[in-house]
Amino acid sequence: MPGKVIRQKKIKKIFLVFGLFGILGAGAGLYVYTANKGPSDKNVQTLNSEQQKSLIETATKLVKQNTKPKEVYNDLGSRIEKLDKQNQYLAMDLIYTSIQNATFYYNSTGSVMSGEIEYNRKSSRSSIAAANNSAWVSGFVRDLKDQHLKPFSLSGAQILSLPNWVELKDYQKYSSPELSILIETGLEAEQFEIFNSESGEVDAYQAFKAYEKVLEGLNKLSKENQSSKYLSDLNSLARFYHDVALGVVITDNIELDSNGTTYTLSKNQISALEKIKNESKDSVLAKEAGSILGVLKDGKAPGNFLKNIAKESQKRFGSSVFWQAEQDLSSIVTSKTLTEKEKKEDPKTGEEKNENN
């Protein structure tokens, strides 16, 4: 169904890796697509009803087959002006759904590549920097951009993908009022400078601001249609920004302690929690921020406490349409990833270890 992620059974890691070149491959899908187009409609001002029906039906089948968004985007986008209003809405829904499905896939594949990413970022804390040293990571980033996704450095081992809202904005006039709200909200939330692809830093306070913006979008969409299928997409964005803001998702703002049970929160994370507690219009978020601050001792929080907040977040906002359940970004709290330089430093002095000793 357009707007819904096509759920798949558990996929083995090796299948995910090779799937990068197969599941989203254009080969067979593009062949079928081309074969069904019929005579060129390049010089036709408006497609007749049968042509429009055929185009939408063919595109629907291809989206269900996980054809690359680039192919769906290029073919529907080049013909969207030749469709009537209702079919324009359907075409945009198909374009967005193909991008959503690709986001789901690339985030899962990115998790499989975490070791490759962490190793190849070298002295940088940014996962995006790994593309400078690994042909695999470079190709991965290049390909996801080509599929109308945008990469962000979530942590030193995780490249996060989200829909490229800027590119979707270019076609917003063809979107239904409901999809238009989603595109606007996604773009507005992205304007907050949360992820620094150069330094790898993640600004938890800016994530809080993005979260508030998504809540506004959710309220607006609910007024438009309380049963809108795009509510799950906005809930997924809200949950993600909520979890980044609180520090219950994999970023470099938290670090697993040597005892394996507590986490040290960065000064920036603690500062963000204090601001969220005092500024949040969402009483639930404010209470959660206060509860984390309440259990902090010397900047450390119990791991189970943070994980319980992540679980409550899932109950509140639902399962993500952008990630697989077993790899959901907010389902775990992970240890801080180290640069190659930091791995060689003495944890007590911060000085480089002498390998000869």
Cα–Cα distance measured from residue 132 to residue 126, given in angstroms and rounded to the nearest whole number: 11
Report the candidate in 56, 108, 124, 60 with the shortest Cα–Cα distance to residue 87.
56
Domain locations in the chain as residue ranges: 13-339
Reading the chain (357 residues) residue by residue, the pLDDT tens digits are 444 434 343 444 444 444 444 445 444 444 444 444 544 555 567 899 999 999 999 999 999 999 999 999 988 999 999 999 999 999 999 999 999 999 999 998 888 898 999 899 988 889 999 999 999 999 999 999 999 999 999 988 889 999 999 999 999 999 999 999 999 999 999 999 999 988 999 999 999 999 999 999 999 999 999 999 999 999 999 999 999 999 998 788 988 888 888 999 999 999 999 999 999 999 999 999 999 999 999 999 999 999 999 999 999 999 899 986 555 555 555 555 554 555 555 544 455 555 444
Cα–Cα distance measured from residue 316 to residue 198, given in angstroms and rounded to the nearest whole number: 33
- Residue 272's identity, in one-letter code, is A
